[in-house]
Amino acid sequence: MKNKKLNLAIFGLALLAPFALYPVFLMKVLCFALFACAFNLLLGFAGLLSFGHAIFLGTGAYVTGYLMLTYSITPEIGIVAGVIVSALVGLVYGKLAVKREGIYFAMVTLALAQLMFFFYLQAPFTGGEDGLQGVPRGALFGLIDLTDNMVMYYFVLAIFVIGFLLIYRTVHSPFGQVLKAIRENEPRAISLGYKVNQYKLLAFVLSAALAGLAGSTKALVFQLASLNDVHWFMSGEVVLMTLLGGMGTIWGPVLGAVTIVGLQNFLASGPLANYIHVVMGVVFILCVLAFRNGLVGELQRLVKKNF
């Protein structure tokens, strides 16, 4: 990584954060940050705008929630199962979607996500409108009880770091190079002999799996998997987080998630509680109009200019 000191400082801050802030809030931030990073892998580095990414978050959450409730398995197995099922859904959806480009790609992902939403609404194992409540966190490897929020926080942080490093590596891998080439100039990549749809599909599956990881973890944190996780609101929210933070940057989605989740929490207890969506809308408009590169993108530009 370019800026080792900065990365270490952020990691140190994350280690100390639960002593200053409410751990459940921090875990929520981490889950959404991972979700946004996964989304950014697809949008920022493969140039593919998915409008149905909540489906992978929700699939992870439902699978893990259902398995934890029904069978007495350990949380790491529940999470692995959630990731695998999300990746499989991603494989099927990706196969259908990568054949289309631009707005059509977005429409296909949205349509497929809506389909899945109504499936989850009706399916017997999701609890319908109520969702899956009281999901047990269990004991990690059967040894470490995760009921305590502080313990759970470090578990979530570890998952986030693993996911984040995997994304970082993917972006800076031979595969990542080809992905960037496709984003930059797809016809040229084809003319060099790359079967671009296969690369897009792998990016899609990776992104879906990581979004599933975020969802599985979230289900354990809140001990809940609900329709909120698969709703298209959620798909929109992750777009907002990524754009606000700066798409195509490594830290952008993290900062975007911190900002959005922080803002929502802050507003929820204030006089603007009923106007959260209005405020989010204003933030979105400001972001699109004033700083299109996102917070991190603009920061990088400032640093480049002045140093």
Give the count of residues interacting with another protein (CB under 8 A). 28
Least distance to another protein from the beta carbon of 260, Å? 27
Determine, following the binding rule CB under 8 A, whether residue 208 of this chain makes contact with another protein: no
The residue from 172, 277, 292, 301 that contacts another protein (CB under 8 A) is 172
Determine, following the binding rule CB under 8 A, whether residue 99 of this chain makes contact with another protein: no
| In the block, residue with structure tokens 């992750």 | 238
Determine, following the binding rule CB under 8 A, whether residue 180 of this chain makes contact with another protein: yes
Binding string, 42-81, against another protein, x = CB under 8 A? ----------------------------------------
The residue from 7, 49, 140, 175 that contacts another protein (CB under 8 A) is 175
Residue 190: partners with Cβ closer than 8 Å, 6 or more residues away: 196
DSSP per residue, 40-80 = HHHHHHH----S-THHHHHHHHHHHHHHHHHS---HHHHHH
Determine, following the binding rule CB under 8 A, whether residue 174 of this chain makes contact with another protein: yes
Of the pair 269, 305, the CB lying nearest another protein is at 305
230, 117 contact by CB (below 8 A): yes
Instruction: Give kind and range of the element (H or E) at residue 143.
Output: none
Determine, following the binding rule CB under 8 A, whether residue 35 of this chain makes contact with another protein: no
Least distance to another protein from the beta carbon of 194, Å? 6
Of the pair 46, 234, the CB lying nearest another protein is at 46
CA–CA separation, 228 and 129 (whole Å): 9
Which of 123, 115, 130, 111 lies closest to 227, judged by CA? 130
β-partners of residue 140 are 144
CA–CA separation, 297 and 99 (whole Å): 30
Which of 239, 228, 206, 207 lies closest to 65, judged by CA? 228
The residue from 124, 193, 270, 271 that contacts another protein (CB under 8 A) is 193
Determine, following the binding rule CB under 8 A, whether residue 91 of this chain makes contact with another protein: no
Angle, in degrees to the nearest 10, between helices 23-46 and 252-268: 140
62, 131 contact by CB (below 8 A): no
The residue from 75, 127, 131, 176 that contacts another protein (CB under 8 A) is 176
Q: Catalog residues that contact another protein under the rule CB under 8 A.
A: 166, 169-170, 172-178, 180-181, 184-185, 187-196, 198-199, 202, 206
